Chain A
Amino acid sequence: MSGSLLSFTRLRAQFVKEILSILRDPRSRMVVFVPPILQLLVFAFAATLEVRNVDIAVYNQDAGRWSHELVQRLNSARFITHVRRVDSQRQLHELIDRGEVIAALAIPVDFSRTIAAGGSGSAQVLVDGRRSNSGQITVAYLSTIAAEVGAAVVPGAQAPNPVVVRHWFNPNLVYRWFIVPGLTGILALFSALLITSLSIARERELGTFDQLLVSPTSTPEIIISKSLPALAIGTLLGLFMISAGVFLFGIPFTGSFGLLLASLVLFILSVVGIGLMISAVSATQQQAILGAFAVGVPAVLMSGFATPVENMPVALQWMAQAIPLTHFLVIVEGTFLKTMPAADILANLWPLAVIALATLTLATLLVRSRLQ
């Protein structure tokens, strides 16, 4: 009986202890419940890659009809808050230097005249290179407006831009549709990572870990009992985020819920393994938290959430394959917007299973090796 590797009585006692330790500890409760809600609000409403509420400077040297038309269109563009009219090239530069405008348009004296003569008018665009990303998007917006003016020049003629861009899966390019599903993975990652990385370190600080090690309980039991609460909480958080995506933000959920749930569970299991490894080597809770962030933040950056995995050097691309979040992001984004077929999900599911198996085994070995 006592020699067995797994005992239900022992497991139950430890599971109850773990759950109570998390729920009765105000700090653990904070770690578990507050950041998800805060991040949901911050990411969903504040963090956006769209360009909005910017100012544009215009130095219009032309008094003609077409420059007037162009400025009118800028005035009515929704992404621009103010169009700042200036009277010299110097003022234009100053506004950009001081960061008051993100881009400036200089319209030459002969702009309308050239167009009236049948030529193509050209205007100079200056962009603040310090904000390169937003700047590029602004330039794209400005080109669209310029193209529209061009279309008005020759009414009835062919539109100057024959290419019509159609964005699949997210036709209006709503940024939240992209970010909220990704957040599901990131939040579940950090909660599971923090809960598990604190769990052994906390016991080590209290001295109860020695108490546990001298009891007949086995290492697999310790790992299981410490995995289950994190698994339960991580899964619930993931589901909470998914339902927030569907019901609060109205993101189309087109794929299979069952497969997504299975992926979520496997994803969290693999994270739990990483968390327990961190915990096994940490002497204090402080070390454990630092460890969790030292692992968690690069994992998010390399997972493809912020930048595409394909843009990274080949070596890092390989490393990215070992990060559970990389695979889970593909699945969760695919399930939300793309109706990803089961075969494609499975292609990302088996790496998750392999990672989970590897991390949990390593965690068990690490806990056991601490006995040496």
Chain B
Amino acid sequence: MSPQPASDTSRQHGDAAAVVLDNVGKRFGEVHALRGLSATIRYGRLTGLVGPDGAGKTTLMRIMTGLLVPNAGSVTLAGFDVVKDNDAIHVASGYMPQRFGLYEDLSVMENMRLYAQLRGMDAERNADLFAELLDFTRLGPFTTRLAGKLSGGMKQKLGLACALMARPKVLLLDEPGVGVDPVSRQDLWRMVQALTDEGMAVVWSTAYLDEAERCESVLLLNQGKLLFDGPPQELTAQLEGRSFRLENVGAERRAVLTEALDLPSVSDGVIQGAGVRVVLRAGAGTEQIQSLADQAQVELAPVPARFEDAFIDLLGGGPGGTSTLAERLPPVELGSDIAVSCRNLTKRFGAFTATDSVSFEVHKGEIFGLLGPNGAGKSTTFKMLCGLLKPTAGEAHVVGLDLRHATGAAKSRLGYMAQKFSLYGLLSVRQNLEFSAGVYELEGNTRRERIEEMIATFDLGDWLSATPDSLPLGHKQRLALACSLMHRPPVLFLDEPTSGVDPITRREFWTHINGLARKGVTIMVTTHFMDEAEYCDRVAMLSRARLIALDTPDALKRMAVSPQRPDPTMEDAFIHLVESTEREAEAAA
């Protein structure tokens, strides 16, 4: 039973309009966050607000809750104008911001009481409502725990409970899936489903395009403009018959992908385990891709279209397949076939074990993924491998060098690209490049040549005196990659390299990474994008500080095959693995 306004009035709304957006525009200085947006959000439905970072999702959410005033157009929520009837909006809507909006030093119960009091409700007299909310969010056993000590998923549930306190008619959730492991995310979907069944309008904003497919209706935003409004199936239907997979290409898949992407008839392509998935341009025939399949002696099978295919198609297709960067790079020479290795790697912070006895070996030229939810120890393990953290026990080697002893020598052989592209925001693009060259001791002609080469490869010539923050996201990522590759490292560490990046930029990024791997550069990558793990040769799955599985993406997916799920995704595989290891642990205990 959901605690929602199961009142008859809301049920009557049925398909009535909950939010009406009429030609909404919002500017911040010179930046157009939203441009001429018109759409209708209905009761009793889950509406996805989908788009990459910077598309305008949060701006639109904040306008709908009356926290921002639009520059143009009007917005009505539950019949109230967000500007004129601002007070009514706060009663009619529940908003869960990205950063939870919880008081971390208060307990779960204290947070709920506080939100109830802020809404002018008497906590004592609403004991039933509290019990209902706690039951609904399954937070009952944790009422005395501090909000700051909850896991990402539990924080989201508590945030949801607080947003539901006033029994809103319209519930706005800003990126509720971020920082939440797949298991908790399932839970959130279930709760939202229960709410829409009761007649509430729920808006779920997300940068994950795969989440869009689970929504009943989707508003697809890109750079402040509405690209699509309707059920996601309607959009993917347009792509019917254009998605194919080259099955079991195996070791040659990167070369095949490059060739496929360079075909004029192919609009987009990604690696999926051992296969290559391609999307053809509208109206293009299958001849070219068929001949490529014949040439590689593999089978070409039609596959259902995905929402992401449709998004990329709307944007005019993905980038080409050839990496100008990798073309210029000489092949990597390494003394040994093992580029990175670790044995019994363990890290403890006080009583807490972040990484528990992890061992693996990574071969030269391999793309190796570390996968896991937040708090699984992925980041700690990664930091020990590249020398940012000292292990409590065990050892890690990069190109045969122990990072604890031969630090300088080992460090000059590895490249590192941090999350959110850590660039010096106060320095210009050229100064950033100069700095990277200098800190890796490039001098004289080599230095000049490398910098010019990076500028030419990544097409940064027009931006040299701009600051990184003013660059478009794609260029910013190119600059970060240029800085980390300046010294031509044989091993490249990528920490969540594509979080929040639009799919086109992600494609371009992976084109370079695939090119580098083909030249023998070893790539270590962490990601929480489950489908991105498909690009990896092998994936190490971490859960609760332990390595729970290490295999090729296809093999991991095979483990999760069941009669109900003949073709599981990486996310299915992950949930399956986590649940089965937990069952084993319980059985052992």
Contact residues in A for B409 (Cβ distance below 8 Å) = 2-3, 216
> Interface of chain B, helix or strand or loop or mixed?
loop
Closest Cβ neighbor of A24 among chain B residues: B426
CB distance from A371 to the nearest CB of B (A): 6
For A23, give the chain B residue with the smallest CB separation. B426
Q: Is A7 an interface residue (CB 8 A)?
A: yes
Interface size on B, residues (CB 8 A): 35
Instruction: Tell me, yes or no, whether B288 is within 8 Å of chain A by CB.
Output: no
Residues from chain B with Cβ under 8 Å of A210 in the complex: 388, 416, 418, 422
The minimal Cβ–Cβ distance linking A228 to chain B, given in whole angstroms, is 15
- B411 cross-chain contacts in A, Cβ below 8 A: 2, 214-216
A1 at the interface (CB under 8 A from B): yes
Instruction: For the complex formed, measure the closest distance between the CB of B33 and the CB atoms of chain A, giving whole angstroms.
Output: 24
Q: Taking the complex as formed, is A311 at the interface, i.e. its CB lies under 8 A from any CB of chain B?
A: no
Proximity string of chain B (479-520) to chain A, C-beta cutoff 8 Å, 1 when within and 0 when not: 000011000000001000000000000000000000000000
Q: Indicate whether B11 reaches chain A with its CB closer than 8 angstroms.
A: no
Asked if residues A215 and B440 are in contact (CB atoms below 8 Å), the reply is: yes
Tell me the complex Cα distance, A1–B431, Å.
24
Interface residues of A in 206-229 (CB under 8 A from B): 206-208, 210-218
- Which residues from A are CB-within-8-Å of B420? 207
Q: Is A172 an interface residue (CB 8 A)?
A: no
On whether the beta carbons of B425 and A2 are closer than 8 Å, the reply is no
B189-225 interface code vs A (CB 8 A; 1 in, 0 out): 0000000000000000000000000000000000000
A14 & B412 in contact (Cβ 8 Å cutoff): no
* Total A-B residue contacts, Cβ distance less than 8 Å: 96
B-chain residues with CB within 8 Å of residue A1 when the two chains form the complex: 441
Taking the complex as formed, is A20 at the interface, i.e. its CB lies under 8 A from any CB of chain B? yes
- List B401-436 residues whose CB lies under 8 Å from chain A: 406-409, 411-412, 414, 416, 418-420, 422-427, 431, 434-435
Counting chain A CB atoms within 10 Å of each CB, the highest count among B388, B416, B420, B438 belongs to B438
Smallest Cβ distance from A75 to chain B, in angstroms? 62
By a CB distance below 8 angstroms, the chain B residues around A14 are 435, 438-439
Contact B418 A16, beta carbon cutoff 8 Å: no
Chain A residue with minimal CB distance to B427?
Answer: A20
In A1-45, which residues have CB < 8 Å from any B CB? 1-4, 7, 9-10, 12-14, 16-17, 20-21, 24-25
In whole Å, how far is A5's beta carbon from the nearest beta carbon of chain B?
8
A211 touches B416 (CB 8 A): yes
Q: Is the CB of A218 within 8 A of B408?
A: yes
A372 located at the interface, meaning its Cβ lies under 8 Å from any Cβ of chain B in the complex: yes
* Cα A14 to Cα B386 with chains together (Å): 21
Q: How far is the CA of A318 from the CA of B414 in the complex (A)?
A: 49
Q: Which residues of A contact B440 (CB under 8 A)?
A: 10, 215-216
Q: Which residues of A contact B438 (CB under 8 A)?
A: 9-10, 12-14, 16
Question: Is the Cβ of B412 less than 8 Å from the Cβ of A20?
Answer: no
| CA–CA, A208 and B434, complex, Å | 15
**Pair B408/A4 contact, Cβ less than 8 Å:** yes
- With both chains docked as a complex, state the minimum distance between the C-beta of A124 and any C-beta of chain B, in angstroms: 59
Among residues of A, the one whose C-beta sits closest to the C-beta of B480 is A211
| Residue pair B408, A17 in contact (C-beta under 8 Å) | no
Nearest residue (CB) in B for A26 is: B426
Task: Please report the C-alpha to C-alpha distance between residue A8 and residue B207 in the assembled complex, in whole angstroms.
Answer: 44
How far apart sit A215 and B442, CA to CA, in the bound complex (Å)?
13
Cross-chain contact A10 with B419 (CB below 8 angstroms): no
Residue among B425, B435, B439, B493 facing the most chain A CB atoms (10 A cut-off): B439
The answer to whether A21 and B441 touch (CB under 8 A), given A210-B416, A216-B411, A372-B389, is no
The answer, yes or no, to whether B387 is at the interface (CB within 8 Å) is yes
Task: Write the chain B residue with the least CB distance to A225.
Answer: B439
Cβ contact within 8 Å between B493 and A214: yes
B389 and A7 within 8 A (CB): no
B236 to chain A, nearest CB (A): 36
A218 to B387, CA, bound (A): 13
- Judge whether B443 is part of the interface by a CB distance below 8 angstroms: yes
Interface size on A, residues (CB 8 A): 30
Q: Provide the residues of chain A in CB contact with B431, threshold 8 Å.
A: 16-17, 20
- CB of B435 within 8 A of CB of A17, answer yes
B390 interface hit (Cβ, 8 Å) = yes
A213 touches B388 (CB 8 A): yes
Q: A13-B437, A20-B426, A216-B440 are in contact. Are A371 and B408 (CB under 8 A)?
A: no
Q: Mark B530-557, 1 if CB is under 8 A from A, else 0.
A: 0000000000000000000000000000
Q: Which residues of A contact B412 (CB under 8 A)?
A: 2, 215-216
Interface core residue of A21, A24, A211, A371 (most chain B CB under 10 Å)? A211
Most buried by A among B386, B387, B414, B416: B416
* Cα–Cα, bound, A2→B441 (Å): 8
Q: What CA separation (Å) do A216 and B439 show in the bound complex?
A: 7
- Interface positions, chain B 285-331, Cβ under 8 Å from A, are none
In contact, A215 and B423 (Cβ under 8 angstroms): no
Q: Identify B386's interface contact among A7, A20, A25, A214, CB under 8 A.
A: A214
Shortest beta-carbon distance from A218 to chain B in Å? 7
Residues in B neighbouring A25, C-beta threshold 8 A: 426
Find the A residue at minimum CB distance from B483: A211
Point out the residue from B389, B416, B441 that lies within 8 Å of A9, measured CB to CB: B441
B423 to chain A: closest residue by CB: A208
A214 with B416: in contact, given A9-B443, A24-B426, A208-B424 (CB under 8 Å)?
Answer: yes
Q: Smallest distance from the beta carbon of A125 to chain B beta carbons, Å? A: 56
Q: Which residues of B contact A206 (CB under 8 A)?
A: 422-425
What's the nearest-Cβ distance from chain B to residue A18, in Å?
A: 10
**B418 touches which of A7, A21, A211, A371 (Cβ 8 Å):** A211
Residues of A within 8 A of B414 (CB): 214
Q: Which of B389, B419, B424 has the most CB of A within 10 A?
A: B424
* B contact residues around A4 at 8 Å (CB): 408
User: Across the interface, which residues of A come within 8 angstroms of B423, CB to CB?
Assistant: 206, 208
Which residues of chain A have C-beta atoms less than 8 A from B483's C-beta? 211
Cβ contact within 8 Å between B426 and A21: yes
Pairwise interchain contact B390-A217, C-beta atoms closer than 8 A: no
CB distance from A203 to the nearest CB of B (A): 8
| Contact A371–B422 (Cβ < 8 Å) | no
Q: How far is the CA of A9 from the CA of B419 in the complex (A)?
A: 27
Cα distance A211–B484 in the bound complex, in angstroms: 9
Q: Please pick, from B389, B435, B484, the residue contacting A16 in the complex, using a CB distance under 8 A.
A: B435
B434 contacts A13, C-beta separation under 8 Å: yes
Q: Roughly how many angstroms separate A207 CA and B409 CA in the complex, as a whole number? A: 23
Inter-chain CA distance A249–B427, complex, in Å, is 40
Partner of A21, one of B386, B427, B442, B443: B427
A12 to B441, CA, bound (A): 10
| Closest Cβ neighbor of A25 among chain B residues | B426
CA distance A7 to B409 in the complex (A): 13
Q: Is the CB of A207 within 8 A of B439?
A: no
Q: Are the C-beta atoms of B408 and A216 separated by less than 8 Å?
A: yes
| Among B390, B435, B483, B493, residue most surrounded by chain A Cβ atoms (within 10 Å) | B435
User: Which 9 pairs from chain A and chain B are nearest by CB?
Assistant: A13-B438, A207-B422, A2-B412, A214-B416, A216-B412, A3-B408, A208-B422, A216-B408, A216-B411
14 more A-B residue pairs beyond the given contacts A208-B423, A216-B441, with a C-beta to C-beta distance below 8 A = A2-B409, A9-B442, A13-B435, A13-B439, A206-B423, A207-B418, A207-B419, A207-B420, A207-B422, A211-B418, A216-B408, A216-B409, A216-B411, A371-B388
A-B contact pairs, 11 of them (CB 8 A): A17-B435, A24-B426, A206-B424, A206-B425, A207-B422, A211-B422, A211-B483, A212-B439, A214-B411, A216-B441, A371-B387
Please give the residue numbers on chain A whose beta carbons come within 8 Å of chain B beta carbons, in ascending order.
1-4, 7, 9-10, 12-14, 16-17, 20-21, 24-25, 206-208, 210-218, 371-372
